[in-house]
Amino acid sequence: MSKEYDVEQLLHFYQQMFRIRAFEEKTNELYQRAIMPGLAHLYIGEEAVAVGVCEALRKDDYITSTHRGHGHCLAKGASFDRMFAELLGKHPGYCHGKGGSMHIADPDSGNLGANAIVGGSAGIATGAALSMKMQGLDRVVVCFFGEGALNEGLVYESMNMAQLWKLPVIYCCENNLYNEYTPYQETTAGTFLGRPAAFGMNAVEVDGQDVLAVYEAAGQVIERARKGEGPSFLLCNTYRFYGHHVGDIDRSYYRSKEEELYWMTERDPLKLLANWMLDRKLTDSNVFTQIENEIRAEVEAAVQFAINAPYPPKEEVDQHVYA
Protein backbone atom coordinates (compact mmCIF):
# COMPACT_ATOMS: atom_id res chain seq x y z
CA MET A 1 0.00 0.00 0.00
CA SER A 2 1.76 3.07 -1.23
CA LYS A 3 -1.02 5.47 -0.38
CA GLU A 4 -2.19 6.78 2.94
CA TYR A 5 -5.87 6.19 3.61
CA ASP A 6 -8.01 7.57 6.35
CA VAL A 7 -10.34 5.18 8.10
CA GLU A 8 -13.43 6.86 6.74
CA GLN A 9 -12.34 6.33 3.16
CA LEU A 10 -11.52 2.68 3.82
CA LEU A 11 -14.91 2.14 5.42
CA HIS A 12 -16.51 3.87 2.45
CA PHE A 13 -14.81 1.36 0.14
CA TYR A 14 -16.13 -1.46 2.29
CA GLN A 15 -19.57 0.07 2.28
CA GLN A 16 -19.58 0.41 -1.50
CA MET A 17 -18.49 -3.20 -1.94
CA PHE A 18 -21.06 -4.43 0.52
CA ARG A 19 -23.77 -2.48 -1.28
CA ILE A 20 -23.04 -4.56 -4.37
CA ARG A 21 -22.82 -7.80 -2.36
CA ALA A 22 -26.13 -7.19 -0.63
CA PHE A 23 -27.85 -6.09 -3.81
CA GLU A 24 -26.70 -9.19 -5.65
CA GLU A 25 -27.65 -11.56 -2.83
CA LYS A 26 -31.12 -10.08 -2.84
CA THR A 27 -31.27 -10.34 -6.63
CA ASN A 28 -30.49 -14.04 -6.39
CA GLU A 29 -33.25 -14.42 -3.83
CA LEU A 30 -35.70 -12.57 -6.07
CA TYR A 31 -34.87 -15.02 -8.84
CA GLN A 32 -35.23 -18.04 -6.59
CA ARG A 33 -38.57 -16.80 -5.28
CA ALA A 34 -39.68 -16.20 -8.88
CA ILE A 35 -40.31 -12.52 -8.16
CA MET A 36 -37.84 -11.36 -10.81
CA PRO A 37 -38.62 -12.06 -14.48
CA GLY A 38 -35.76 -13.46 -16.54
CA LEU A 39 -32.22 -13.92 -15.34
CA ALA A 40 -29.39 -11.89 -13.87
CA HIS A 41 -25.60 -12.23 -13.93
CA LEU A 42 -24.26 -11.76 -10.44
CA TYR A 43 -21.15 -9.70 -9.71
CA ILE A 44 -20.47 -11.28 -6.32
CA GLY A 45 -16.74 -11.84 -5.87
CA GLU A 46 -15.74 -9.05 -8.26
CA GLU A 47 -16.83 -6.07 -6.15
CA ALA A 48 -13.33 -4.68 -5.62
CA VAL A 49 -12.95 -4.03 -9.35
CA ALA A 50 -16.03 -1.87 -9.81
CA VAL A 51 -15.52 -0.05 -6.52
CA GLY A 52 -11.77 0.44 -6.89
CA VAL A 53 -12.20 1.85 -10.40
CA CYS A 54 -15.31 3.95 -9.84
CA GLU A 55 -13.93 5.48 -6.63
CA ALA A 56 -11.04 6.74 -8.72
CA LEU A 57 -13.46 8.37 -11.20
CA ARG A 58 -15.24 11.69 -10.97
CA LYS A 59 -19.03 11.81 -11.01
CA ASP A 60 -18.96 13.37 -14.48
CA ASP A 61 -16.69 10.67 -15.91
CA TYR A 62 -18.34 7.94 -17.96
CA ILE A 63 -18.51 4.17 -17.78
CA THR A 64 -19.84 1.47 -20.05
CA SER A 65 -20.86 -1.79 -18.45
CA THR A 66 -21.66 -5.38 -19.31
CA HIS A 67 -24.30 -8.06 -18.88
CA ARG A 68 -22.71 -8.55 -15.43
CA GLY A 69 -23.22 -4.89 -14.77
CA HIS A 70 -25.05 -4.32 -11.46
CA GLY A 71 -21.76 -3.73 -9.65
CA HIS A 72 -20.56 -1.09 -12.10
CA CYS A 73 -23.89 0.72 -12.03
CA LEU A 74 -24.04 0.79 -8.23
CA ALA A 75 -20.39 1.75 -7.85
CA LYS A 76 -20.90 4.67 -10.27
CA GLY A 77 -23.81 5.93 -8.21
CA ALA A 78 -27.04 4.15 -9.09
CA SER A 79 -29.63 3.81 -6.34
CA PHE A 80 -31.02 0.54 -5.01
CA ASP A 81 -34.69 1.35 -5.47
CA ARG A 82 -34.58 2.26 -9.14
CA MET A 83 -32.18 -0.63 -9.83
CA PHE A 84 -34.51 -3.18 -8.25
CA ALA A 85 -37.47 -1.57 -9.97
CA GLU A 86 -35.72 -2.05 -13.30
CA LEU A 87 -34.89 -5.67 -12.49
CA LEU A 88 -38.56 -6.30 -11.80
CA GLY A 89 -39.64 -4.54 -15.00
CA LYS A 90 -41.38 -1.73 -13.13
CA HIS A 91 -42.07 1.78 -14.36
CA PRO A 92 -39.88 3.72 -11.88
CA GLY A 93 -36.86 1.65 -12.94
CA TYR A 94 -33.91 3.40 -14.54
CA CYS A 95 -35.18 2.50 -18.02
CA HIS A 96 -38.93 2.45 -17.23
CA GLY A 97 -38.64 -1.31 -17.15
CA LYS A 98 -37.65 -1.51 -20.81
CA GLY A 99 -34.02 -2.40 -20.24
CA GLY A 100 -33.90 -4.83 -17.35
CA SER A 101 -30.90 -6.32 -15.60
CA MET A 102 -28.56 -6.21 -18.60
CA HIS A 103 -29.28 -2.68 -19.84
CA ILE A 104 -29.23 -0.32 -16.89
CA ALA A 105 -28.26 3.16 -18.08
CA ASP A 106 -28.19 6.41 -16.16
CA PRO A 107 -26.96 9.73 -17.52
CA ASP A 108 -27.01 11.28 -14.02
CA SER A 109 -24.25 8.96 -12.84
CA GLY A 110 -22.36 8.93 -16.16
CA ASN A 111 -23.45 5.40 -16.95
CA LEU A 112 -23.63 5.10 -20.74
CA GLY A 113 -25.31 1.76 -20.31
CA ALA A 114 -24.78 -1.87 -19.58
CA ASN A 115 -24.48 -3.90 -22.74
CA ALA A 116 -25.55 -7.48 -23.34
CA ILE A 117 -23.36 -7.96 -26.39
CA VAL A 118 -19.96 -9.18 -25.23
CA GLY A 119 -17.44 -6.46 -26.09
CA GLY A 120 -20.28 -4.47 -27.61
CA SER A 121 -19.58 -1.29 -25.69
CA ALA A 122 -15.92 -0.95 -26.68
CA GLY A 123 -16.82 1.30 -29.59
CA ILE A 124 -19.25 3.35 -27.53
CA ALA A 125 -16.71 3.96 -24.77
CA THR A 126 -14.05 4.90 -27.31
CA GLY A 127 -16.47 7.20 -29.11
CA ALA A 128 -17.35 8.92 -25.85
CA ALA A 129 -13.63 9.41 -25.26
CA LEU A 130 -13.21 10.90 -28.75
CA SER A 131 -16.17 13.13 -28.00
CA MET A 132 -14.54 14.39 -24.78
CA LYS A 133 -11.32 15.13 -26.61
CA MET A 134 -13.14 16.96 -29.42
CA GLN A 135 -15.11 19.05 -26.92
CA GLY A 136 -12.04 19.87 -24.86
CA LEU A 137 -13.53 18.24 -21.76
CA ASP A 138 -11.25 16.43 -19.32
CA ARG A 139 -13.63 13.56 -18.59
CA VAL A 140 -12.41 9.98 -18.74
CA VAL A 141 -14.32 6.91 -19.92
CA VAL A 142 -13.94 3.44 -18.44
CA CYS A 143 -15.00 0.50 -20.57
CA PHE A 144 -15.63 -2.52 -18.36
CA PHE A 145 -15.60 -5.95 -19.99
CA GLY A 146 -14.86 -9.52 -19.07
CA GLU A 147 -11.96 -11.55 -20.40
CA GLY A 148 -14.40 -13.26 -22.76
CA ALA A 149 -14.56 -10.01 -24.74
CA LEU A 150 -10.86 -10.32 -25.51
CA ASN A 151 -11.72 -12.44 -28.51
CA GLU A 152 -14.19 -9.95 -29.99
CA GLY A 153 -12.91 -7.97 -32.94
CA LEU A 154 -14.60 -4.71 -31.98
CA VAL A 155 -12.43 -4.47 -28.87
CA TYR A 156 -9.30 -4.36 -31.00
CA GLU A 157 -10.71 -2.01 -33.61
CA SER A 158 -11.53 0.34 -30.76
CA MET A 159 -8.22 -0.05 -28.90
CA ASN A 160 -6.33 0.65 -32.10
CA MET A 161 -8.12 3.96 -32.64
CA ALA A 162 -7.89 4.94 -28.97
CA GLN A 163 -4.13 4.47 -29.01
CA LEU A 164 -3.70 6.16 -32.42
CA TRP A 165 -5.59 9.22 -31.24
CA LYS A 166 -4.57 9.19 -27.53
CA LEU A 167 -8.15 9.04 -26.33
CA PRO A 168 -9.03 9.25 -22.61
CA VAL A 169 -10.41 5.73 -22.25
CA ILE A 170 -9.52 2.86 -19.92
CA TYR A 171 -10.18 -0.68 -21.09
CA CYS A 172 -10.85 -2.44 -17.81
CA CYS A 173 -10.66 -6.18 -18.34
CA GLU A 174 -12.21 -8.19 -15.51
CA ASN A 175 -10.61 -11.59 -15.78
CA ASN A 176 -12.91 -13.84 -13.79
CA LEU A 177 -11.33 -16.91 -15.43
CA TYR A 178 -14.43 -18.13 -17.27
CA ASN A 179 -15.99 -17.16 -20.61
CA GLU A 180 -19.48 -18.13 -19.50
CA TYR A 181 -18.93 -21.86 -18.90
CA THR A 182 -15.52 -22.23 -20.51
CA PRO A 183 -12.13 -21.60 -18.89
CA TYR A 184 -10.34 -18.79 -20.72
CA GLN A 185 -7.35 -21.05 -21.36
CA GLU A 186 -9.47 -22.95 -23.87
CA THR A 187 -10.39 -19.80 -25.79
CA THR A 188 -7.57 -17.34 -25.58
CA ALA A 189 -4.25 -17.61 -27.40
CA GLY A 190 -1.17 -15.78 -26.22
CA THR A 191 -1.34 -13.59 -23.15
CA PHE A 192 -3.86 -10.99 -22.05
CA LEU A 193 -1.23 -8.27 -21.81
CA GLY A 194 0.14 -9.23 -25.21
CA ARG A 195 -3.01 -7.68 -26.66
CA PRO A 196 -2.52 -4.07 -25.48
CA ALA A 197 1.21 -4.50 -26.02
CA ALA A 198 0.52 -5.06 -29.73
CA PHE A 199 -0.91 -1.54 -29.91
CA GLY A 200 1.84 -0.03 -27.76
CA MET A 201 -0.81 0.70 -25.16
CA ASN A 202 0.00 1.34 -21.51
CA ALA A 203 -1.11 -1.70 -19.51
CA VAL A 204 -1.34 -2.46 -15.81
CA GLU A 205 -2.17 -5.78 -14.16
CA VAL A 206 -3.62 -5.76 -10.69
CA ASP A 207 -5.07 -8.09 -8.05
CA GLY A 208 -8.76 -7.52 -8.61
CA GLN A 209 -9.65 -8.78 -5.12
CA ASP A 210 -7.67 -6.00 -3.47
CA VAL A 211 -9.78 -2.86 -3.63
CA LEU A 212 -6.91 -0.61 -2.62
CA ALA A 213 -4.65 -2.03 -5.32
CA VAL A 214 -7.39 -1.55 -7.91
CA TYR A 215 -8.10 1.96 -6.66
CA GLU A 216 -4.44 2.94 -6.91
CA ALA A 217 -3.84 1.38 -10.30
CA ALA A 218 -7.08 2.85 -11.66
CA GLY A 219 -6.19 6.24 -10.24
CA GLN A 220 -2.89 6.23 -12.09
CA VAL A 221 -4.26 5.25 -15.48
CA ILE A 222 -7.27 7.55 -15.12
CA GLU A 223 -5.14 10.59 -14.27
CA ARG A 224 -2.82 9.72 -17.12
CA ALA A 225 -5.78 9.65 -19.49
CA ARG A 226 -7.17 12.87 -18.03
CA LYS A 227 -3.90 14.63 -18.73
CA GLY A 228 -4.14 13.64 -22.39
CA GLU A 229 -1.52 10.93 -22.22
CA GLY A 230 -3.75 8.33 -23.79
CA PRO A 231 -5.62 5.14 -23.06
CA SER A 232 -4.65 2.24 -20.83
CA PHE A 233 -5.53 -1.38 -20.44
CA LEU A 234 -6.25 -2.30 -16.83
CA LEU A 235 -6.25 -6.03 -16.23
CA CYS A 236 -7.99 -6.98 -12.99
CA ASN A 237 -7.68 -10.61 -11.94
CA THR A 238 -10.80 -11.64 -10.13
CA TYR A 239 -13.31 -14.43 -9.69
CA ARG A 240 -17.02 -14.94 -10.17
CA PHE A 241 -18.19 -16.62 -6.96
CA TYR A 242 -21.44 -17.86 -8.50
CA GLY A 243 -22.53 -19.05 -11.90
CA HIS A 244 -22.62 -17.32 -15.25
CA HIS A 245 -26.15 -16.35 -14.33
CA VAL A 246 -28.48 -17.04 -11.41
CA GLY A 247 -29.70 -20.26 -12.99
CA ASP A 248 -26.19 -21.70 -13.38
CA ILE A 249 -26.29 -23.91 -10.30
CA ASP A 250 -24.42 -27.05 -11.34
CA ARG A 251 -20.96 -25.82 -12.26
CA SER A 252 -19.09 -29.05 -11.67
CA TYR A 253 -18.49 -29.63 -15.37
CA TYR A 254 -16.37 -26.53 -15.69
CA ARG A 255 -14.89 -25.85 -12.27
CA SER A 256 -14.47 -27.49 -8.91
CA LYS A 257 -16.16 -26.81 -5.59
CA GLU A 258 -12.69 -26.60 -4.04
CA GLU A 259 -11.70 -23.80 -6.36
CA GLU A 260 -14.86 -21.86 -5.53
CA LEU A 261 -14.37 -22.44 -1.82
CA TYR A 262 -10.79 -21.20 -2.00
CA TRP A 263 -11.81 -17.91 -3.60
CA MET A 264 -14.78 -17.44 -1.27
CA THR A 265 -12.79 -18.02 1.89
CA GLU A 266 -9.30 -16.80 1.02
CA ARG A 267 -9.88 -14.27 -1.74
CA ASP A 268 -13.12 -12.49 -0.84
CA PRO A 269 -12.53 -8.79 -1.50
CA LEU A 270 -14.68 -7.73 1.45
CA LYS A 271 -12.96 -10.04 3.91
CA LEU A 272 -9.56 -9.00 2.58
CA LEU A 273 -10.25 -5.32 3.22
CA ALA A 274 -11.87 -5.96 6.61
CA ASN A 275 -9.00 -8.14 7.76
CA TRP A 276 -6.45 -5.63 6.53
CA MET A 277 -8.13 -2.94 8.60
CA LEU A 278 -8.56 -5.17 11.64
CA ASP A 279 -4.92 -6.28 11.50
CA ARG A 280 -3.92 -2.65 11.67
CA LYS A 281 -6.51 -2.01 14.39
CA LEU A 282 -8.05 0.75 12.29
CA THR A 283 -11.52 -0.26 13.37
CA ASP A 284 -13.34 -3.10 15.07
CA SER A 285 -15.64 -5.73 13.64
CA ASN A 286 -18.78 -4.10 15.07
CA VAL A 287 -18.33 -1.27 12.61
CA PHE A 288 -18.58 -3.69 9.69
CA THR A 289 -21.63 -5.33 11.21
CA GLN A 290 -23.27 -1.97 11.57
CA ILE A 291 -22.53 -1.02 7.98
CA GLU A 292 -23.91 -4.34 6.78
CA ASN A 293 -27.09 -4.02 8.82
CA GLU A 294 -27.74 -0.54 7.54
CA ILE A 295 -27.25 -1.59 3.94
CA ARG A 296 -29.40 -4.70 4.31
CA ALA A 297 -32.18 -2.52 5.69
CA GLU A 298 -31.79 -0.20 2.73
CA VAL A 299 -31.97 -3.18 0.36
CA GLU A 300 -35.17 -4.43 2.01
CA ALA A 301 -36.79 -1.02 1.68
CA ALA A 302 -35.72 -0.75 -1.96
CA VAL A 303 -37.08 -4.19 -2.79
CA GLN A 304 -40.39 -3.32 -1.16
CA PHE A 305 -40.45 -0.13 -3.20
CA ALA A 306 -39.83 -2.12 -6.39
CA ILE A 307 -42.40 -4.80 -5.57
CA ASN A 308 -45.05 -2.18 -4.84
CA ALA A 309 -44.15 -0.06 -7.86
CA PRO A 310 -46.45 -0.14 -10.90
CA TYR A 311 -45.58 -1.85 -14.15
CA PRO A 312 -45.15 0.49 -17.09
CA PRO A 313 -48.48 1.48 -18.65
CA LYS A 314 -49.28 -0.09 -22.01
CA GLU A 315 -48.63 3.23 -23.75
CA GLU A 316 -44.96 2.85 -22.81
CA VAL A 317 -44.45 0.00 -25.30
CA ASP A 318 -43.95 2.20 -28.34
CA GLN A 319 -42.47 5.20 -26.57
CA HIS A 320 -38.77 6.02 -27.11
CA VAL A 321 -38.35 4.01 -30.30
CA TYR A 322 -37.19 7.28 -31.86
CA ALA A 323 -35.77 10.32 -30.12
Q: Rule CB under 8 A: which residues touch other proteins?
A: 62, 64, 93-99, 103, 105-107, 112-113, 115, 117, 120-132, 134-135, 141, 153-154, 157-158, 160-161, 164, 319-323
Which residue number, 107 or 183, has a Cβ lying nearer to other proteins? Answer: 107
Q: How far is the CB of 105 from other proteins (least distance, A)?
A: 4
CB atoms within 10 A of CB 172: 28
Contacts of 72 (CB under 8 A, 6+ apart): 43, 50, 54, 63, 65, 66, 111, 114, 144
Give the residue with the Cβ less far from other proteins, 111 or 238. Answer: 111
Instruction: Tell me how far, at minimum, the Cβ of 154 lies from other proteins, in Å.
Output: 5
Q: Is the dihedral of CA 87, 88, 93, 95 positive or negative?
A: positive
Helix (H) or strand (E) holding 235: strand 232-237
Nearer to other proteins, 183 or 313 (CB): 313
Cβ nearer to other proteins, comparing 60 with 266: 60
d(CA 40, CA 102): 7
Residue 96 backbone zone (phi > 0: left; psi -120 to 50: alpha; other: beta):
left
Q: How far is the CB of 166 from other proteins (least distance, A)?
A: 13
CA 28 to chain centre: 17
* Residue 131 beta carbon to other proteins: minimum distance, rounded to whole angstroms: 4
Shortest Cβ distance from residue 161 to other proteins (Å)?
Answer: 6
Residues 160, 210: Cα–Cα separation, whole Å:
29
Q: Cα separation of 159 and 219, whole Å?
A: 20
Q: Which is nearer to other proteins, 88 or 141 (CB)?
A: 141
